[in-house]
């Protein structure tokens, strides 16, 4: 059997890979989409929210047929301290239109759906096939191997590395190795089953719409991390994420952090009586712009988690956008019949002027803030809840005295200048907005 040759091989049928394959197949590119799981999504984990962009560009009117669990109409940010919490909620039924406020999803439903779109457009989807090496000729990656022997070699004019945060393609091609502990967070999550009526009653929802609760502050023992509770149709996605460098120092087991989170008074009543249906874990790129490897090198285009593109809480949309742009650059290369790196560099150019790289530039201190600022994960939440507790207990002490005490607490614990600077710049690196 002779080795197969395609225009492009996409390694990994997650959101990035399927977006790339779909974009190319629509333009008549001969593309193979290889997935190591039995089905797309079988190996994948995410928090749970997919956004409108760029899905609407990939699949027009996606809201009519995508496997949406619930359209998010209530966005809650919960600032959590050890014992209490302070919640900001923005609820807007406008978000239900066209799922423009995002929607919750399960990867084992969403990923096969998007991969199927690529297949329908003409991509060849191969599942249950793990890439174990790349074929290099004259310093360029010309194919991949999926086992020993020539029958397990696949060739292409270009390769899309959409194989996740631990990308085998990028490692074997010598583009980047595994990330450093401070560049990734470990997310652990449970799918907790509850009747849909119970979810709707607990979260104050109507049928089909949902709430996302993002917990910031003292979620992972005062270290950089966060937690979430997202509503699916008849289950909740409940999880925490912590920087691996912090986890190493804390010497605590990841599931102990999850259990602590689940027992917090701001979480436990929401999940009470639910049945755990799955326990999951995944690494999340958190390195910010400095962790992004060369997007085009040796005939390989890096997309999604493989390209370390993720800014809390946006990962899936960054993945799909990068895949889409890589797909466009490759479709252009096919038309020009020029797959050289200088032609493929179009992907880099498209990325530079896109939301994806611009957002990474805007949050250029993202990783530093996560690593250095204990204030957001410990001091501020503690301070806010302490002040609120004092203000809300009516005990005969005048409010003016309480306000003065609050000012003193702020001055002594952080200082006004620090507070101003944090509010002006740093906090926008960790907020989901």
Taking the complex as a whole, the smallest distance from the CB of residue 7 to other proteins amounts, in Å, to 25
Using CB under 8 A, list all residues that contact other proteins: 36-39, 41-46, 106-109, 111, 127-130, 132, 146-147, 165-166, 168, 178-181, 184, 186, 188, 191, 235, 244, 247-248, 251-255, 276-283
Nearer to other proteins among residue 57 and residue 193 (C-beta)? 193
Nearer to other proteins among residue 44 and residue 348 (C-beta)? 44
Q: Which residues contact residue 288 at a Cβ distance below 8 angstroms, ignoring those fewer than 6 apart?
A: 311, 360, 363, 364, 365, 366, 367, 368
Taking the complex as a whole, the smallest distance from the CB of residue 81 to other proteins amounts, in Å, to 25
Taking the complex as a whole, the smallest distance from the CB of residue 13 to other proteins amounts, in Å, to 12
Cis peptide, bond prior to residue 323, ω within 30 of zero: no
CB count, 10 Å around CB of 394?
Answer: 7
- The rounded radius of gyration (Å) of the Cα atoms in the chain is 23
Residues in the chain: 433
Nearer to other proteins among residue 186 and residue 321 (C-beta)? 186
Nearer to other proteins among residue 165 and residue 330 (C-beta)? 165
Element (H, E) at 47: none
Nearer to other proteins among residue 13 and residue 55 (C-beta)? 13
In terms of phi and psi (left: phi > 0; alpha: psi -120 to 50; beta: otherwise), the region of 288 is: left
Taking the complex as a whole, the smallest distance from the CB of residue 328 to other proteins amounts, in Å, to 28
Taking the complex as a whole, the smallest distance from the CB of residue 155 to other proteins amounts, in Å, to 20
Q: Give Cα 387 distance to the centre of its chain.
A: 33
Taking the complex as a whole, the smallest distance from the CB of residue 359 to other proteins amounts, in Å, to 24
Nearer to other proteins among residue 136 and residue 281 (C-beta)? 281
Taking the complex as a whole, the smallest distance from the CB of residue 96 to other proteins amounts, in Å, to 24
Nearer to other proteins among residue 101 and residue 287 (C-beta)? 287
Residue 278: strand pairing partners: 191
Please count the CA atoms within 13 angstroms of the CA of 272 that sit on its side-chain side: 10
Nearest to 54 by CA among 327, 270, 355: 355
CB count, 10 Å around CB of 157?
Answer: 23
CA distance 85 to 384: 9
Distance from the first to the final alpha carbon of the chain = 53
Nearer to other proteins among residue 168 and residue 297 (C-beta)? 168
Nearer to other proteins among residue 3 and residue 276 (C-beta)? 276
Residue 115: strand pairing partners: none
Tokens of 349: 């150019």
Nearer to other proteins among residue 267 and residue 387 (C-beta)? 267
Taking the complex as a whole, the smallest distance from the CB of residue 371 to other proteins amounts, in Å, to 15
Taking the complex as a whole, the smallest distance from the CB of residue 16 to other proteins amounts, in Å, to 15
Helices (H), 228-374: 244-250, 254-263, 268-271, 316-336, 341-344, 346-352, 355-362, 366-372
Q: Which residues contact residue 411 at a Cβ distance below 8 angstroms, ignoring those fewer than 6 apart?
A: none
| Residue 311 per-residue DSSP state | B
Taking the complex as a whole, the smallest distance from the CB of residue 223 to other proteins amounts, in Å, to 13
């Amino acid at each position: 059997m002779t080795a197969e040759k395609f225009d492009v091989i996409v390694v990994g049928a997650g959101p990035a890979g399927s977006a790339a394959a779909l974009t190319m197949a629509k333009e008549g590119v001969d593309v193979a989409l290889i997935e190591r799981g039995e089905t797309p999504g079988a190996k994948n984990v995410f928090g749970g929210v997919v956004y409108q962009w760029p899905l609407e560009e990939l699949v027009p009117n996606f809201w009519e047929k995508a496997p949406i669990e619930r359209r998010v109409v209530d966005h809650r940010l919960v600032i959590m301290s050890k014992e209490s919490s302070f919640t900001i909620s923005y609820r807007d039924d406008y978000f239900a239109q066209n799922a423009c406020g995002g929607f919750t999803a399960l990867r084992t439903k969403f990923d096969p759906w998007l991969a199927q779109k690529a297949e329908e457009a003409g991509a060849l989807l191969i599942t249950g096939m793990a890439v174990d090496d790349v074929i290099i000729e004259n310093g360029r990656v010309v194919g991949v191997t999926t086992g020993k022997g020539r029958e397990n070699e696949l060739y292409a004019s270009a390769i899309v590395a959409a194989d996740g945060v631990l990308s085998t393609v990028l490692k074997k091609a010598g583009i980047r190795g595994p990330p450093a502990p401070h560049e990734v967070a470990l997310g652990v999550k449970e799918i907790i089953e509850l009747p849909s009526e119970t979810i709707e009653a607990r979260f104050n929802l109507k049928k089909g719409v949902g709430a996302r609760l993002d917990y910031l502050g003292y979620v992972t023992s005062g270290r950089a991390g966060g937690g979430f509770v997202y509503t699916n149709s008849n289950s909740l996605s409940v999880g925490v994420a912590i920087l691996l460098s912090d986890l190493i120092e804390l010497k605590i087991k990841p599931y102990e952090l999850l259990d602590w989170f689940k027992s917090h008074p701001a979480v436990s009543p929401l999940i009470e009586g639910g049945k755990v249906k799955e326990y999951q874990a995944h690494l999340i790129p958190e390195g910010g712009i400095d962790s992004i490897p060369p997007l085009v090198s040796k005939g390989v285009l890096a997309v999604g988690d493989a390209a370390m593109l993720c800014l809390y809480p946006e990962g899936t949309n960054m993945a799909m956008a990068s895949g889409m742009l890589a797909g466009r650059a490759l479709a252009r290369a096919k038309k020009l019949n020029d797959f050289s790196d200088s032609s493929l560099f179009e992907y880099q150019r498209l990325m530079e002027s896109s939301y994806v790289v611009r957002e990474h530039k805007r949050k250029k201190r993202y990783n530093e803030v996560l690593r250095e600022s204990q204030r957001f994960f410990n001091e501020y939440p503690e301070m806010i809840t302490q002040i609120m507790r004092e203000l809300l207990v009516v005990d005969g002490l005048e409010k003016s005295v309480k306000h003065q005490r609050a000012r003193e607490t702020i001055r002594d614990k952080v200082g006004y200048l620090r507070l101003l600077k944090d509010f002006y710049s740093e906090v926008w690196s960790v907020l989901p907005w």
